[in-house]
Amino acid sequence: MTCASDYQQVFAGARRVSEAPFTGLWRHHPSDAPQTARLGMAVAKRNVRLATQRNRVKRLIRESFRHHRDSLGAIDIVVLCKPRAERYSNEQLREALDRLWQRMSIQCERSSSS
């Protein structure tokens, strides 16, 4: 996602999934949007102080999303980073993201079938 209005739409009508140290907000695409998942990130400086650590966290989020994109369907996602995420190792962050995508996918399937 590239523009502020995309983020605002997700924040306005989002469903929430949490998996420490992340919170994922998602909602279904509007019908005219691309039919693949789109990612947005919010890794705040107050939550992860050093720029190198913020970049590491964002890089891991993007990489993990790229591997799980096909299983997520046509949704917009914003991943928020909770405080002290830099204390987690890369492996711990990957595992947390895997669980986040899995829970998000299950919620998405449930909401589209009902």
pTM to 2 decimals? 0.91
Q: For the chain, list residues with pLDDT below 70.
A: 30-34, 113-114
Q: Among all chains, which residue has been given the structure tokens 């369907």?
A: 73
pLDDT for res 13: 84
Token duo for residue 104: 């998000």
Torsion angles phi and psi, residue 80, rounded to 5: -100, 140
In this predicted model, what pLDDT tens digit does every residue of 28-45 receive, in sequence order? 886 666 688 999 999 999
Of 35, 36, 38, 19, the residue nearest 78 (C-alpha):
38
Q: Which domains does the chain have, with CATH numbers?
A: 4-107 (3.30.230.10)
